[in-house]
Structure 1
Amino acid sequence: MTRADLNLLRSLAVLIEEGNVTRAAVRLGVSQPALSAQLARLRALFDDPLLVPSETGRGMVPTPRALDLRGPLDGMLADVGRILAPAAGFDPTTAERNFTIAASDNGTVVLGMSLFEDLTRRGIGGIHLAFRPLDRTRLRDQVEAGEVDLVLTLMDDVPPGLKTRAVLVDRQVVIQRKGHPRGTGQLDLRQYCAYKHVIMSTEGRWRTTLDDHIGELGHTREVALSVPQFMLAVLAVAGSDLLGMIPARLAEHFTDRVDVFDIPFKPAGFALQAAWHPRNHADPAHIWLRETVAGLVARG
């Protein structure tokens, strides 16, 4: 293997087929002296003349060793051609592919379910989706091992070394139950802090950076409940007088049970990121998945 290369073996296959150095050189796009030099290397490599002058004086004929090599050479070169051929395009309407997506409940509802609905509407039945919760302690290993194809999360949660793109820019809003005793007027900061709150914290915390911001404005709020998912915050708000704060795009799915209000101070926006392993960056199926997820937001 160390003494051969693909160019030499391809030259041998063409020489055997043509039986003529001049014609073989034309097919290979090399000069006749260059091909003659390659033939000399091939003879040394196989310790056989490979091609000898024809008794008629016209062209060359393969030796028995060359004839034995012809079939394996043709098969090997065909395999190499398939290996080096450009990747086939991805047609989701005919493809069979499973994708595993790790996301928070927000990412799963807002983007994941929209993706599934889009596939169903378009009649794409060969694409199967599995959603799993974010495990920030193992996320890098899961992506590296191929257990997770795509991650939907905040930039701060993306493990180092992954490719990313922003797929959804959003903001937080305040929610309260239908028929809340506060009424439906727009909240000011005093009213906001007068009621108890539910917060979302995967670590079970009772404070967030929002509490620091409110404190800088001279106010405090009482957190009565801390839950690990936004969906649980929606359920808690819908069944009590608690106020909650969830992403605006998520809140749009629950306007039948909660009222939605702007936050009574300037909140920071955020962007959900799609993240994936670099090995999948040029995969046509993975490109289709990423572009489809990003396109969901553009289509509203």
Structure 2
Amino acid sequence: MTNLRTLDLNLLVVLRQLLEDRHVSRAGEQLGMSQPAVSRALQRLRAMFDDPLLVRTPRGFELSARAEALLPELSQWLDEAERLVSRPVFDPATSTQVVRFYGPEPEVGWFLPPLFERMRRLAPGMVLEVNSEPRDHFEPLERGDVHFVVTPFEPSASTAQLHSLRLAPLSLALVMSKDNPLAQGPLTLDRIAAASHGLVSLTGRGGGMVERDLIEQGQLSPGERLNQPLRLSSFASIPAFCERSDIVFRLPHRFAEELARGRNLVVRETPPQTTKEVTYAHLYWHERFHKDPMCRWIREQLKAGQV
């Protein structure tokens, strides 16, 4: 059996040209090789296959029986090898691929509808699959379950295999009942720290961004806990809880406005000092999809569709 590690693929390219042209000089012209170089390659091929391959006759070279049988298989094999190493082609107009996203509801509702609008116009056969169930945001990326994560959070572990793109800044606001004491009067850090807060816990761990920011501002001491009598695993029921209690949620402003529309709720801007720095949403993807042409196209469309 031939050892493939010793096989020179260049010889097979020369062989196909020789068998198609049945002429050493003409094959050399097609390959950009000299006639002596092609003749040497033919000698090596004859030794490799233990067959004359090209047989000289009064009419010129003719294919041996082995070469006749070999040519179609050789051409198919080399064509497949070329496809194997060539850059994959992505045509959005004909693609039926599924692109999978994970992210919390506010960011999904903000960034992905414009992307989907562009997909429906430019890639009507593609499918956008979105998962917002509570979990560690970056586990699906590590496992390869999704192509992208859109989130305001940062990975806590190593990011060596993750790529990211910063999206729009997230303006934060408080949403509460119109009857909540915080709905009226100055919105100070003292009043925010003393309020009853709700938390949408996506991971089931930690006290949330409000508690972290108040600790950083010195409003809470390290180890002190914010009053958080309500923890949810979904954003959908926030309006109902806020309307019937003194609970306050801090959410992206645009999402808070959508939740409050038509409800007995009010949305108030958070004081600038409640956050240490501007919060941005980010798009994350794993190294395994970094060069994938479909994923590159999706990133371009998401950037183009930002509003």
- The verdict on a shared fold, with TM-score over 0.5 as the criterion, is yes
Match of 2:18 in 1: 15
Match of 1:50 in 2: 53
What is the CA-CA distance between 1:43 and the residue it aligns to? 0.9
What is the CA-CA distance between 1:169 and the residue it aligns to? 2.2
Q: Which segments of 5 or more consecutive residues in structure 2 lack a partner in the other structure?
A: none
**Aligned 1:112-191 pairs, distance under 5 A:** 112-116=112-116, 119=119, 122=121, 125-132=124-131, 133-136=133-136, 139-140=138-139, 142-153=140-151, 154-156=153-155, 160=159, 161-191=161-191
Distance 1:205 1:18, change over 3 A: closer
Partners of 1:167 and 1:293 within 8 A in 2:
no
Partners of 1:198 and 1:226 within 8 A in 2:
yes
Distance 1:206 1:225, change over 3 A: farther
What is the CA-CA distance between 1:259 and the residue it aligns to? 2.4
What is the CA-CA distance between 1:177 and the residue it aligns to? 2.2
What is the CA-CA distance between 1:54 and the residue it aligns to? 2.4
Q: Secondary structure at the match of 1:223?
A: coil
Match of 1:38 in 2: 41
Q: Per-residue displacement from partner, 1:8-34 (whole Å, max 9, x unpaired)? A: 112112112222211111111011111
Output the CA distance in 1 between the equivalents of 2:105 and 2:205. 16
Output the CA distance in 1 between the equivalents of 2:134 and 2:101. 9
What is the CA-CA distance between 1:65 and the residue it aligns to? 2.0
Partners of 1:3 and 1:45 within 8 A in 2:
no
What is the CA-CA distance between 1:264 and the residue it aligns to? 2.8
Q: Secondary structure at the match of 2:78?
A: helix
1:99 maps to amino acid = V
Distance 1:237 1:159, change over 3 A: farther
Partners of 1:214 and 1:220 within 8 A in 2:
no
What is the CA-CA distance between 1:61 and the residue it aligns to? 2.5
What is the CA-CA distance between 1:73 and the residue it aligns to? 1.6
Match of 2:292 in 1: 283
What is the CA-CA distance between 1:125 and the residue it aligns to? 4.0
Q: Per-residue displacement from partner, 1:219-277 (whole Å, max 9, x unpaired)? A: 99643323344444444223323222112232232241332222235213222222222
Structure 1 position 70 matched with structure 2 position 71? yes
Give the counterpart of 2:28 among 16, 25, 30: 25
Distance 1:159 1:178, change over 3 A: farther
Q: Secondary structure at the match of 1:24?
A: helix
1:42 maps to amino acid = L
1:263 maps to amino acid = T
What is the CA-CA distance between 1:181 and the residue it aligns to? 4.8
What is the CA-CA distance between 1:35 and the residue it aligns to? 1.0
Give the counterpart of 1:247 among 224, 249, 252: 252
What is the CA-CA distance between 1:292 and the residue it aligns to? 2.4
Q: Per-residue displacement from partner, 1:21-79 (whole Å, max 9, x unpaired)? A: 111111110111111111111011011122233235xx422222222212212222232
Distance 1:259 1:124, change over 3 A: farther
What is the CA-CA distance between 1:279 and the residue it aligns to? 2.4
Number of equivalenced pairs = 292
Match of 1:296 in 2: 305
TM-score, normalised via structure 2 length = 0.80
2:293 maps to amino acid = P
Distance 1:16 1:265, change over 3 A: closer
Deviates more, 1:35-44 or 1:204-213: 204-213
Q: Which segments of 5 or more consecutive residues in structure 1 lack a partner in the other structure?
A: none
Q: Secondary structure at the match of 1:273?
A: strand
RMSD: 3.1
TM-score, normalised via structure 1 length = 0.82
